[in-house]
Amino acid sequence: MKNLVKSFYDFNRDSPQERQERNQLHPELAKFHIALREEMSEEEYQEFYRAEKEAARNLMISNPNPRPQWIRI
């Protein structure tokens, strides 16, 4: 089974170790979020972050162990 990389939004932002790991795994997205925080108010940024986190969650596969199936036509 493959090792899955955690989403940028799966890390605990309150943990310095997890923030460091997140920034190492997702450097471009981390830079993007730093720039956003400089340009947006805190409230705007938090709303954006919540929306992006929810969107990322919705993209995840609901069944982590899908069985291969033939497609019938």
**pLDDT tens for residues 5-39?**
789 999 999 999 999 999 999 999 999 999 999 99
Whole-angstrom distance, CA of residue 31 vs CA of residue 70: 42
Structure tokens at 60: 């995840």
pLDDT band at 62 (very low <50, low <70, confident <90, very high): low
Distance in Å from the first CA to the final CA of the chain: 30
pLDDT band at 59 (very low <50, low <70, confident <90, very high): confident
Query: Phi and psi dihedrals of 63, rounded to 5?
Result: -110, 105
pLDDT, residue 1, reads 43
Neighbours of 41 (CB within 10 A): 9
pLDDT, residue 26, reads 94
Least confident of 12-16, 30-34, 42-46, 65-69: 65-69
For the chain, what are the domain ranges?
A: 8-59
